[in-house]
Amino acid sequence: MMKNIKPFMLERNFLILMFGVFVNGLGSGIYLVAGMLLVLNLSGSVFYSGLAMFAISSASVLSFLIAPLANYAKYKHGLVYSNLAKAAILFTIPILNYTVGLHVWYVISLLFIVALFTQYTYPIESTILPIIVGEDNVLEANSCLQTIREAMDIAFIAGAGIIVTIIGTVPAISIFAICILLVSLLYAFFNFQQPDITKEKGQSIGSASKKYFIDLKAGFNYIKNSLIPKMIYSIVFINIAMVIMTTNLPAFSLIKSNGVEAVYGFYLASLSLGIMIGTIITPKLKHLDFGKIIIVSYIGTGIMWIGTATLPLVPSIILYSTGAISIGILNILVFSSIQKQVETAYVGRVITLLTSAAALGMPVGSLIGGILGETFAAEISVLICGISMIIFSIFWLSSSVLRKLPEIDRVKLFRDRRVRV
């Protein structure tokens, strides 16, 4: 058994990161269910669920503005203090709930602020991974961490609906706050070699601002002549469709289950199961042509999610899970290739530029999803998402550049730049 364990998996810093991901996963599934249900319960309207998703996705759009800030503090300090701040903010929900009461707009605002902190910590975690495990182990390390994330989501999202029903939405969010606090304490034990932070003492606000915008512009210039912009347009489109569906998922699950709230957690867990399967099998697929994998898998996803919208509860959940496999595959292949081909100083910025651009469609999808949910049955939104997946595949098929992408290790994201070795 020990022969199958890669040396990087026993390295101190990777173990800390892995346990941090594990502890975060203990509460994030419950938080995801409880947060959306809290908004729905406080407002009684799917439209406000759309606004909540709009707030969260707007933070994702702004991530390209936040990413350069990671270079102004040591990575370890950034992870520790930002998680502490996030935990403190989350604890205000139970405090206000048991004192002056909660308002739906406060909860939506809080979801936005917490999401902003996540946009700061995620690129740091992506940046330190190659430092900890080395470029040769990035794909396997990503697969390992993402498998843990999805496995925890399955375990806790599946039961989240039941837990929320028993203890309530506010205590459930408190559990997540405690988990975030523990993650902050775990990350305090990091001891990896950190790049020097070049910061002059007594630097004026004007010069600091100038340096910030220089760093921001450098991230844009870095990807300008790369393959990434060619992918962004299709990803924006698909994100609009995905958020239209997820905004209506609470109402959709209630319709499919005749009012059983716990089923919303089952749908989320099935999504995580599919993503986890895709994550696990990705290292076995890296020898196949990237373009062909995406085209074939997303056509399958579209067909399956059309079935999710039209079939009864049990086959609907099964097809929803199976269709999500392609998401796990795409995530690992794209982010691993970026982490291997980009200099350490730019990894966070490039990843957040990609995710920010991809997230541009999410606020639009949230508002459209909220309006559709108020006007039509929730099944329509899921059906639209399934059809959009097929359109996404057709777009890749019609693009000679995307269609002919080779196996991931031979894909050159930056054609005019040497790949890191």
Tell me the CATH number at 326.
Answer: 1.20.1250.20
Q: Comparing 214 with 324, which gets the higher pLDDT?
A: 324
Whether 420 is in a domain gets the answer no
pLDDT(212) > 80: no
Q: What percent of the chain has pLDDT over 90?
A: 8
Task: Report how far apart the first and last C-alpha atoms of the chain are (Å, whole number).
Answer: 30
Whether 197 is in a domain gets the answer no
**Mean pLDDT of the 138-142 span:** 73
Whether 416 is in a domain gets the answer no
Q: How confident is the model at residue 348 (pLDDT cuts 50, 70, 90)?
A: low
Residue 185: CB partners within 8 Å, gap ≥ 6?
Answer: none
pLDDT(27) > 60: yes
**Mean pLDDT of the 112-119 span:** 82
**Mean pLDDT of the 332-341 span:** 71
Spatial CA neighbour of 180 closest among 55, 15, 30, 13? 30
- pLDDT of 342 reads 66
pLDDT in tens, 287-322: 888 888 889 988 999 999 999 999 989 999 999 999
Whether 352 is in a domain gets the answer yes
Structural domain for 56, as ranges: 13-192+205-410
Q: Quick check: helix, strand or coil at residue 289?
A: strand
> In the block, which residue shows the tokens 């992506």?
126
Whether 5 is in a domain gets the answer no
Spatial CA neighbour of 178 closest among 395, 26, 401, 326? 26
**Mean pLDDT of the 376-396 span:** 89
**Mean pLDDT of the 86-95 span:** 90
Spatial CA neighbour of 245 closest among 296, 306, 169, 159? 306
Please state the domain count of the chain: 1
Residue 396: CB partners within 8 Å, gap ≥ 6?
Answer: 234, 291, 294, 295, 298, 402, 403
Whether 4 is in a domain gets the answer no
CA 119 to chain centre: 10
Q: Comparing 336 with 392, which gets the higher pLDDT?
A: 392
